[in-house]
Amino acid sequence: MAAPWSASGSPAVSAPSGAPPGDGSVPSSAPAADDMRPPTPPGPPPGSPPRSPRPAPGVAPGAYHHWGLDRPLDPPPPPPDVKPPLVPDGEQPPGLPPVIRQVATTDRVVFLTIDDGLEKDPRFIDQVRDLGLPFTQFLTDQAVDGQYDYFGELHRLGGGIGNHTLTHPSLAGQDYGTQVQEICGQQENLRNRLGVQPRLFRPPYGEYDETTLRAAADCGLGPVVLWRAEMETQGLVYRSGGRLQPGDIVLAHFRGPEQLDGHTMTEMITELLREIQAQGFAVARLEDYV
């Protein structure tokens, strides 16, 4: 039986009445752009032996075994000299931040993003350090609950930082002033507490409207980052296609034993990394491509 890795069906921070039940919902204004994806380069032929383990530079050779992996994480290729053009998720208003679910690349890489900040497992810091794991954390002030030092340590280890609002409301349909308060307020927190000015924004539940995009732009944010695969109870769940594609953005959450039926954050991440490895992908840093 698969472990209950996702708590997106039961948001950890309060949302206004009528908010969708989980981060998997998508606004009708943002259809999938699967037909705009670059072709998938072939993976290893069926029945071929696994690639030789080759840990990334600076990663302890035995770290993968300590964290329950069968082999080291494959290092991603060098970052592109020129970032690829952003492929918007369907028709979008001109002059506003693009909404993306995937990066236009043929590199066999995916991008790990982790939302909200509810769980602060110190062993996850060790896991990130030991594995040299690149990821981006989209932080909600209410979930962080004042404990920004924890996420600052992850940032010092290379974890990118994005904006995920103050209180995790569903923004679609709310007035401009409310949306600006949620987005700009968290932008100010992240600047004051972590010394960063994020470029990337993720709307709670993946719900947004044109006002959200305008508010995000006015708060100094660029791309609005959604996802194409999410770590759920039964494993990775895909918007389409049934497997990872090059450039996919993957969603997970900061969760712990209380939300995961006794399982830990590090166990959830290990299970996710196993699946990424099994499909022949490396994990790359989103900010290197976007």
**Rounded distance between C-alpha atoms, residue 83 and residue 100, angstroms:** 14
Q: Are 147 and 101 in contact (CB under 8 A)?
A: no
Q: Are 22 and 9 in contact (CB under 8 A)?
A: yes
Tokens found for residue 5: 């890795």
**Rounded distance between C-alpha atoms, residue 44 and residue 36, angstroms:** 24
- The number of angstroms, rounded, from the C-alpha of 148 to the middle of its chain's C-alpha atoms is 18
Per-residue model confidence as pLDDT tens digits over 184-240: 999 999 999 999 999 999 999 999 999 999 999 999 999 999 999 999 767 899 998
The H-assigned helical ranges of 195-286 are: 210-218, 265-278
**Rounded distance between C-alpha atoms, residue 122 and residue 168, angstroms:** 24
Question: What's the pLDDT score for residue 131?
Answer: 97
Per-residue model confidence as pLDDT tens digits over 168-181: 999 999 999 999 99
Q: What confidence category does residue 61 fall into, taking pLDDT thresholds of 50, 70 and 90?
A: confident
**Rounded distance between C-alpha atoms, residue 172 and residue 23, angstroms:** 13
Question: What's the pLDDT score for residue 134?
Answer: 98
Which string of b and e fits 129-160 if b means at least 16 CB within 10 Å? bbbbbbbbbbbbbbbbeeebebbbebbeeebb
A 10 A CB-CB count for 165 gives 27
Residue 51 has pLDDT above 50, yes or no: no
Pick from 4-13, 49-58, 180-189, 202-211: least confident: 4-13
In the chain, pLDDT over 90 holds for what percent of residues? Answer: 72
Structural domains of the chain sorted by starting position, each given as residue range(s) with its CATH number in brackets: 98-288 (3.20.20.370)
Q: Are 225 and 286 in contact (CB under 8 A)?
A: yes
The mean pLDDT of 130-148, rounded to a whole number, is 98
**Rounded distance between C-alpha atoms, residue 191 and residue 122, angstroms:** 23
| Strand residues in the chain grouped as ranges (E) | 99-100, 109-116, 136-139, 160-163, 224-225, 229-232, 235-238, 249-253, 282-284
Tokens found for residue 280: 């022949």
**Rounded distance between C-alpha atoms, residue 99 and residue 227, angstroms:** 10
57 burial class (0-12, 13-18, 19+ CB within 10 angstroms)?
exposed
Which position has the token pair 């039961």? 10
